[in-house]
Structure 1
């Protein structure tokens, strides 16, 4: 048995060595800083990736630290690491024993650590037993725990009233302190002084009983189950006990990693707004529109939203995504609903997008679609043209049809009574995605194109649906439903940037829409005004999300919902933001996953494959600044919350960012050439010209901006387009070298700014 076991382990190690060497070779060849964390999940327990603990809780902090996450289902065996050339480490969060052969997993993990991969082990380690319930020899499981400086003493304490933390540093008690009766715990003794203990529990005041439950060190970190999060079953809420940012930052050594940032542009917080077309044709109850003598049938919600929330805020861009079925003459569209779309698309601050052709509710229903599968629902299709959205499209019961109660396909649409809003014709994925985008592009004025699909229904598209957006040359977004407020008082309700869907990726919206504030549009129609709490909490003390106002057209139906919407828009108008279209944010988010950093000297990186992402962040950088003399393609820099935000020039395909030191963080770092500190607009193509510069600019609203210039004095500023001066002024720059400008010129169409020093 011993010889067989030895030969088995040797075989596993040889396989692993063969798998790991190509990955290491490719990483060395590319020279890129590894950013990918491989998440091992057990989908036999957690079902699908979007519901796993790692995706719902851990991935957002990992994204914030500049890391991407790839998922592997351990039910399919152990992964071939040669598939992940960009690998930085591994994260696990098991609650059971998922491995039929823990010995093979321990050998696999040990070989990975020997190659320099670091492990973050949350909850159960998965090495104390087999998936069939058989125990594992302690000597075997301790080979794994030894990698984290621990020894499992094969004991468990469930009566903890005499147990107290004797070490509990800032990594513990993040959202919930260790108060009251402590959770039960296994006994882990520390055996390696290279590891730091962040939580040590002692029983009966006896040092000999110390158990180490949160540790970090050379191979990564371990945080024991019960001390990672607190779950309140009554409220169905989780709170972090462990500080995930500190834990993952330490485990994966991210302090010196440049972080692609999707929250900030031109040194300001990104703002975008997008509207799903649901409720487009609902009749409004809002005065005075509900008494319009010229429209005896009533004014539709889409027109109310246009007048109250879009035309009234021309400085705030918005992406509008109707449903084709609501406007097309061959479906449920009318001259009124089509006119509403045309009037919206004609506004300069409006971007056309698509909420699909027939509004699928349960996307998984269509992954293996046949017309016969859907035929039983046809009698549920509602021909009433003007009913409330949730009366018309959603059901309160699980779907059944007479004589079909036992048909599995019928019941597999969750809370929805029909699988999509419009059932008149068979489902066609190409029409649903590309066809809808083309339709709205044709409706829009020349020069505007619909390039964003906003997922409807359960916002859980299957892989082919996401692939169809790429095929159509478009981006995709929705899902996530970020909340962080009194009702959802934890970052566990703040999702990551996106979700892997097969080989594709779904991009989540920045915030939740009004559904979650109004109990699925059944009451508290004023509730969406509480969005501002999530907006504040996701900006401080850490900027975790952009400022996103996301809603549906039925917000134009109720007086309270219109007022709530206008409050949010007013708050956006008063905030320091950089407004962009929703498709721009989706492109920035896609860039997060693609960006690569190639080291190019001391604290210097070449940035490749970033797409539309134009901001990098360096954390713990109060006394760090960009060394502009060693950098290329850098527009500017700004310190915020202890981090350094670096603005990249979109005109430079592969910028180089080099860091140096600065004496203080409360002043702009000195430099001998101009650079952007912050601005409302987006900038591109910076050219330094003697004592001044020129740069392209595009944006929404008044062009507020601040530039650092090398010398004080008087500066002339002009905004021009095609050789025509649109605006000009002068500004005095003092000893702080800060040039503050507010340009009164429309920049939705790009223009050129010229800044020239005229006198000392």
Structure 2
């Protein structure tokens, strides 16, 4: 296979574009976990084991660690797995990639605290770090039996502390004797402070971040937040602030700093799902709810235009440079269910647009996924007389939502929208994907399942997506704005469900902005605030525009959507299909780093479609291209170094070095990408010249015109051509400045991959 073909296949997988042979034989596919050998080399540990007590929290999905801790851990490059301590203590040999353990108990979960203390000691002796939030679980045994202080202090000694068996419950005379930059992240210490135990520090290897003092006597100092060689501990009540009236949470401790120090992630390469080609990643996806609703927008209402057609006209066709993944419900389209010729044709028109990716919002739109875990038609019988299908009456304009999340989540009137046939999991998942693939133009394939209803699929449903060759997304309800003023409103990348994994959307849909589609139909315009806060001062999420087809029903909601898309159009983004983001997210969990000889030198394995690494606190660092391979480029942003990997290289090697200047693109002997709107693959030298006089070529694909910046070894004029299948589509020239910064825009479509050729303008490169 030629270099361009290889690069194009890698780009097709990366962008979710219709290219042949993506299922096997592509470079990205060859880096899947299944190809790893039985004698895998030692890798940098990235797994954090979360101990939870599901007798108290009931589900991992709603646990404190999942809803608050996992996002910061993901940002630090760490993957979280869960263990329910109600089942005993885990065997750590099951976790060969284990870096640390995190706990956040509300009570005392252990019947034998001595066994737990011994277990933690064995784990720490083998180098496993612990981060302890909230109750440590060692003061009382389950049932309320007190634990001897000597045993409790064996545990605290591992964090450089000793419990002096005192407690300050009246804190009006207490004040911080020390509160460093780790304290007051979103909420300062103010008002009536929680009571606290009297912790004396016994090991100076640990750093105290918060020390409380009673009155003016230093002898009463208590060290409430510490980090050190074994991990870190935050005393209960001093990690977060909780407003019970509004159900709002804010961090007191800086979770990024605390977990960075606790798990020593400063030098860890971090797989980054927010960035592509040096830019913030963008994707958009639409759930099919409200597909057949008649719009209320004048003058289209009089013509009985469907909401799905209204969205196509105002929000899809009007933004051809912004890709969108469209997921109808089969029951809304298929004439043997509740479909109509108009609803079916609306899907065909959408799927035919080059920027649209077909996807599935299931066959019958389950509302309560748990209902179908152990499905019985008999259990569904009481609902059959209340089928969610349309029953038009006199004057009915079909404007009310039929198959959408418009009821209170968890209290739907029906378990699914369409009940006329028994539930069939294979039909619901693989069957729906096949249906939409057949409906789409040749070359387009539906691979993404966008979860419906409560977005809480059970393990077998997730497994059905994987077995159908698909990927999944939805859930999470990401908010970070005036109503949700905390990063705790942002979910992690995904959720483990048994042996499977659900991938969350990066933004919330309009339901959370419109009181479940009952009021404030303009509310979705506030998405831009969440996207702004989730992108700065640190980039935590891609820019995700996620909504339902019933947005096209009302003028206020449609105008809000258009305002969001207009805001996205004005930003520096790298747009991809939603299935691409889901694949990138999956790659976060599988990526492994093999340390190589020398400092800061790694081989990247099993990354799937994940093609960006991030190094934090790296303003003075650069890629050492002489010791690296398979690296497309680099860019400094927000104090971090973002490294773009080449999808055409299955196992790239990344090495870092220091640079003298942090205010410009670091020099290199080879050309490299600084940033671009498109995805790139297969970067290689080309032509007869040598060194600075040599040209290069790269495959590229993406949406909209191809704005890009390269750092080239030679300043001056460069000629650039874009071709596809040997036919030149465009040629132009651009000037590299004195620092070798070559900025240009290629004004052609790249939905199908292009080959770009760069040559010094004097032609010496051949």
TM range (shorter): over 0.9
Question: Within the alignment, does 1:464 sit opposite 2:460 as a pair?
Answer: yes
Is 1:641 the counterpart of 2:653? The answer is no
Cα distance 1:28–1:230, how it changes in 2: closer, same or farther (>3 A)?
Answer: farther
Q: How far off is 1:291 after superposition?
A: 2.5
In the aligned structure 2, how far is the partner of 1:393 from the partner of 1:322?
11
Q: Distance in 2 between matches of 1:478 and 1:503?
A: 18
* 1:740 maps to which of 717, 740, 743: 743
- 1:442 paired with 2:438, answer yes
Alignment of 1:204-243 (within 5 A): 204-243=215-254
Q: CA deviation at 1:277?
A: 0.1
Q: Relative to structure 1, is the Cα distance of residues 629 and 151 closer, same or farther in structure 2, using a 3 angstrom cutoff? A: same
Is 2:391 the partner of 1:384? Answer: yes
- Partners of 1:396 and 1:704 in 2: CA distance: 43
- The offset of 1:528, in angstroms, is 0.3
> What is the rounded CA distance, in whole Å, between the counterparts of 2:404 and 2:208 in structure 1?
54
Q: Is the 8 A contact 2:161 2:201 kept in 1?
A: yes
Query: Contact 2:407–2:516 (CA<8 Å) still a contact in 1?
Result: no
Within the candidate set 323, 330, 344, 1:324 is matched to: 330
**Partner SS state of residue 698, structure 1:** strand
Between 1:443-452 and 1:375-384, the stretch displaced more is 375-384
Structure 1 Cα separation of the partners of residues 157 and 518 of structure 2: 55
Aligned equivalents of 2:439, 2:234: Cα separation in 1: 55
Deviation at 1:288, TM superposition (A): 1.8
The CA distance in 1 between the partners of 2:578 and 2:495, in whole Å, is: 18
Query: Deviation at 1:128?
Result: 0.5
Matching residue within 408, 411, 416 for 2:412: 416
Structure 2: state its 5+ residue gaps: 1-36
CA deviation profile, 1:31-59 (whole Å, cap 9, x unmatched)? 10000000000000000000000000000
Distance 1:659 1:470 in 2: 36
Q: Distance in 1 between matches of 2:736 and 2:182?
A: 45
TM-score scaled to structure 2, two decimals? 0.92
1:662-686 deviation per Cα after TM superposition (whole angstroms, max 9, x unaligned): 1122200000110000000000000
* CA distance in 2 between partners of 1:200 and 1:172 (Å): 11
In structure 2, distance between residues paired with 1:595 and 1:512: 27
2: distance between equivalents of 1:375 and 1:390?
A: 23
Bigger relative contact order (CA 8 A; separation at least 6): 2
1:195-251 CA-partner distances (Å, limit 9, x unpaired): 111000000111110011000111100000110000000110000001000000001
1:537 counterpart (516, 533, 537): 533
- Answer whether contact 2:290 2:403 (CA < 8 A) is retained: no
2:34 paired residue number: none
Structure 1 Cα separation of the partners of residues 347 and 404 of structure 2: 21
3-state secondary structure, aligned to 2:175: strand
CA contact (8 A) 2:719 2:731 kept: yes
| Contact in 2 for aligned 1:395/1:418 (Cα 8 Å) | no
Q: Which moved more, 1:533-542 or 1:684-693?
A: 684-693
Task: Determine the structure 1 residue equivalent to 2:612.
Answer: 615
Give 4+ residue runs of structure 1 displaced > 6 Å after superposition: none
TM-score, structure 1 normalization: 0.93
Q: Is the 8 A contact 2:405 2:511 kept in 1?
A: no
- Give the corresponding residue for 2:79: 68
CA RMSD of aligned residues (A): 1.4
1:676 alignment partner in structure 2: 673
Does residue 758 in structure 1 map to residue 745 in structure 2? no
Residue of structure 2 equivalent to 1:722: 725
Deviations 1:237-289 (A, max 9, x none): 00000100000000101011000000000000000000000000011001121
| Deviations 1:686-719 (CA, angstroms, capped at 9, x unpaired) | 0122421000000000100000000112100000
1:531-590 deviation digits (Å, cap 9, x = unpaired): 000111011110000000000000000001110000011111110000000000000000
Looking at structure 2, the residues matched to 278 and 537 of structure 1 have their Cα atoms a distance apart, in angstroms, of 28
Distance (Å, rounded) in 2 between the aligned partners of 1:723 and 1:536: 42
The equivalent residue for 2:713 is 710
In the TM superposition, what is the alpha-carbon distance from 1:29 to its structure 2 partner?
Answer: 5.8
Matches of 1:648 and 1:182 in 2, distance apart? 48
* Structure 2: distance between partners of 1:81 and 1:478: 32
> Partner residue of 1:561?
557
Task: Give 2:485's aligned residue.
Answer: 489
CA separation in 1, counterparts of 2:615 and 2:399?
Answer: 48
Displacement of 1:181 = 1.8
SS at match of 2:146: coil
Q: Matched residues in 1 for 2:470 and 2:548: separation?
A: 21
Per-residue CA distance 1:65-90 (angstroms, 9 max, x = gap):
00000000000000011111110000
Q: What secondary structure does 1:750 align onto?
A: strand
- The aligned runs of 1:120-139 (5 Å cut-off) are 120-139=131-150
**8 Å Cα contact 2:159-2:232 kept in structure 1:** yes
Displacement after TM superposition at 1:384 (Å): 2.3
Query: Does residue 1:141 correspond to 2:141, yes or no?
Result: no
Per the alignment, residue 523 of structure 1 pairs with 519
1:452 corresponds in structure 2 to 448
Whether the aligned pair in 1 keeps the contact of 2:678 and 2:703 (CA below 8 Å) is yes
- Residue-by-residue CA offset, 1:593-626 (whole Å, 9 max, x unaligned): 0000000122110000000000000000000000
Q: Residues 313-341 of structure 1, C-alpha deviation per residue, up to 9 Å, x if partnerless? A: 00000000000000001000000000000
Secondary structure of the structure 2 residue equivalent to 1:249: helix
| Alignment map for 1:233-382 (pairs within 5 Å) | 233-292=244-303, 298-382=304-388
Instruction: Say whether the 8 Å CA contact 2:410–2:454 is kept in structure 1.
Output: no
Per-residue deviation at 1:414? 3.1
Q: Secondary structure at the match of 2:501?
A: strand
Q: CA deviation at 1:158?
A: 1.3
Does 182-191 or 347-356 show the bigger shift?
182-191
- Could you tell me which of 409, 414, 431 is aligned with 2:427? 431
Which SS does the other structure have where 1:30 is aligned? coil
Go from structure 1 to structure 2 and tell me whether the alpha carbon gap of 1:516 and 1:394 turns closer, same or farther (over 3 Å shift): closer
C-alpha distance in structure 2 between counterparts of 1:193 and 1:235, whole Å = 41
Residues in 1 aligned to 2:400 and 2:173: alpha-carbon distance in whole angstroms:
57
What secondary structure is seen at the aligned counterpart in 2 of 1:54?
helix
Q: Is the 8 A contact 1:166 1:201 kept in 2?
A: yes
* Preserved contact between residue 278 and residue 389 of structure 1 (Cα < 8 Å): no
SS at match of 1:356: coil
How far apart are the structure 2 equivalents of 1:736 and 1:695?
21
Matched-pair contact (CA < 8 Å) for 1:394–1:418: no
- 1:650 matches 2:647: yes
**Inter-partner Cα distance in structure 1 for 2:46 and 2:94:** 14
Residues 360, 396 of structure 1: alpha-carbon distance in 2 compared, 3 angstrom cutoff: closer
Secondary structure in structure 2 of the residue aligned to 1:70? strand
Displacement of 1:30: 2.6
CA distance in 2, matches of 1:172, 1:144: 24
Q: What is aligned with 1:686?
A: 683
Distance in 2 (alpha carbons) for counterparts of 1:207 and 1:572 = 54
Tell me the CA shift for residue 183 of structure 1: 1.1
Q: Which residue does 1:119 correspond to in 2?
A: 130
Change (3 A) 1:130 1:388: farther
Aligned CA distance change for structure 1 residues 721 and 27 (closer, same or farther; 3 Å): closer
- Structure 2 distance, partners of 1:416, 1:393, is 10
